[in-house]
Structure formats: C-alpha cells, structure tokens
Amino acid sequence: MRRIMLLTLALSAVAAAQPSCGPYSVRGTYLVTSSGWIVSAQAEGQAAPIPAMLMGVASVTFSGEITMSGTVNFAGQQAEFEAEGSFDVKPDCTGSARARVRLAGSTEWGSPMTYRIVVLPEEKEIHQFHTTPGDMGLGIWKRMSPVVNAAKW
C-alpha cells in the first residue's frame, strides 16, 4: 500500500511539472525578432534568396489574436510594417500561427504566412519556424509584459 501511495505521489509530481498551454499562455506584449531568407523570382526566372530580418512589438490577446508593428529589412532596404494574425496553441505547448503583413503606406495586405511554434511558458518565449512556401527563417518572441498593448513600436 505504501509503495502505491509513493508511486501515485511521484507520478502526480511529474504530471504537475509538465507545462500546459493554450491561447491564454501567450497573452501579453512581446519583442519579436526574426531573420531568414525569402525566395523571389528574378528576371531570368531563377529563384534568388533575399536576406530578411525584422524587429517589432506584438500584442497577443487572451484568445490568441495578434497585432504587431515594427521594421523589416529586405536585402538592406528598410520599411515599417504592421501585421495581424492568430496563434493556435495546443496543450503540449506546440502549435501554429497565421499572419498577414502590410507595409507602411500600403492599403494592401500581403499573402498569409504560416508558422510552426513552440511556447516556452517558464521562459516567457515563443519560438517560430516559417512554413510559408518561399520563406526560410526562425524567430523568437520574448514577452515584455503579460499586459496586452503594454508597448507600441
């Protein structure tokens, strides 16, 4: 009987140590950095990778809705941008994200982009991997505050 109780306590402690996530896990304001490559068509029809980097501030609501603004750099050319999208976070802290971006001065939203994500709740970070065809890159979201819209770019 004593062994069963000890085993039950040990398994309960292990289960309690496992993170549990959902959209509520990512609520807050984040500093976002991302870098990688975008493949674009050249005049002769060859695909050429273009280096891309961005930095911005994002807010994520309790339901996982994202708003973001920042600066992006494509092969040395900078532009301000805004983005909107959403996170889908599973209980095991993995998930996906969708977003669309609009460059400053434009009225048109770009094509939707997709990402795989891993939420690290104790580190207050989200790691992303671009899965949109033609994009190659990684990004890190570091939570600045648990409060939505605590900072603006």
| 85/83 Cα distance (integer angstroms) | 7
Domains of the chain (ranges plus CATH)? Answer: 21-145 (2.40.128.120)
> Which of the 8 DSSP states describes residue 23?
G
pLDDT at 57: 98
pLDDT at 49: 84
Kindly write down the DSSP assignment for every residue of 37-90, as one continuous string. EEEEE-TTS-EEEEEEEEEEEEEE-TT-EEEEEEEEEETTEEEEEEEEEEEEE-
| 51/76 Cα distance (integer angstroms) | 8
Pairing of strands 94-103, 28-41: unpaired
pLDDT tens over the chain, length 153 residues: 565 554 455 555 444 556 689 888 899 999 999 999 987 655 556 667 889 999 999 999 999 999 999 999 988 999 999 999 999 999 999 999 999 999 999 999 998 999 999 999 999 999 999 998 888 899 999 999 999 999 989
Whole-model pTM?
0.82
pLDDT at 10: 52
Please, is 10 exposed, middle or buried when counting C-beta atoms within 10 Å of its C-beta (0-12, 13-18, 19+)? exposed
